[in-house]
Amino acid sequence: MPEIPDLENVKSFLEQHILGVAVQGAETPRGWVIRYPTALEFVRTLEGDAVQSIARRGKFLLFSLRSGHLLAINSMLTGRLQYREGQPKKVHKRTNFILHLADGHDLLYYDQKSMGKVYLVPADRLDLIPNFSKMGPDALEMSLLEFQERLRKRRGMVKPILTDAEFIAGIGNAYADEILWEARVHPHKNAASLSVEEVERLHSAIGSVLRWAIGIVGEEMRCDIDRKIRDFLRVHRKGGEPCPRCSHTISEIAVRERVTSFCRQCQPEVPQHHLGLRSGRAGGEASAAQTAS
């Protein structure tokens, strides 16, 4: 799924290309991802409108419109935005909506599994977006003190905590693996057992890994804002390969349909009940849901 490094670059690109450009028309060929309002009202509201500014909140991109409405998009697992010239290219068969812009370009949203969540609401009615108000601080904005205080109230394995939007917003499966590897913290370590030093390393790794990735994704993505760029990651989905830090074989396990990748030498394992841990890839090929990030 798109995470902060992807979304920050999509946001930057669209800020350069669509701000102030009028929406001449809109289509909803597969409008199932539009959770509010109806697809018909979605089209009627957007036609003649224009994006004035774009923000990111966790995994949401927020488009502030001239009309006073807010277009909020959470791409979830397989959703992607695409910016293209209006006519020459074929439209992705899973396209959910298209905005035809006055400069001859289109902004499309397509979603292979139609899992995305799209809302068009008055700017003062964010309550119409389920759980939006429950999101924790953004991963690039949480201070060490706040991180320590919020983590102190949590129990359970540290990786699921990092990917819980109510704890911290914007981190998904892929970058949780990278952050934990950078911090040298085992993904299944109980949060309550983390040392002061581990908590500090973890907080530092959140900022350093995400900012490092933002730069690399931006260089590779350029105008292809629907690209999923993960090949540069150091540990995620690298099971069976040598760890770039210590050369030990990277391990992968699947828990609750999510693949976790880590180095058992750099991230020492903690005593716990058997998790089916093994070096290299988990037995059998992971399903599409498991390999998704």
Residue 168, Cβ density class (10 Å: 0-12 exposed, 13-18 middle, ≥19 buried):
buried
Q: What HEC string does 26-75 produce?
A: EECCCHHHEEECCHHHHHHHHCCCEEEEEEEECCEEEEEECCCEEEEEEC
Q: What pLDDT sits at residue 287?
A: 34
| pTM exceeds 0.85 | yes
Which structural domains are found in the chain, ordered by start?
A: 4-134 (3.20.190.10), 144-291 (1.10.8.50)
Q: What pLDDT sits at residue 285?
A: 34
Q: Of 209, 162, 25, 189, which Cα lies nearest the Cα of 104?
A: 25
Q: What pLDDT sits at residue 246?
A: 96
Measured distance CA(125)–CA(69) in Å, rounded: 9
User: pLDDT means per 10 residues in the chain (293 residues)?
Assistant: 95 98 95 95 97 98 98 95 78 91 96 94 96 97 97 94 97 97 96 96 98 97 94 96 97 86 90 41 36 41
* Percentage of the chain exceeding pLDDT 70: 90
Q: Of 34, 54, 30, which Cα lies nearest the Cα of 42?
A: 34
Which residues are part of the catalytic machinery? 2-3, 59, 258
Pairing of strands 60-65, 23-27: unpaired
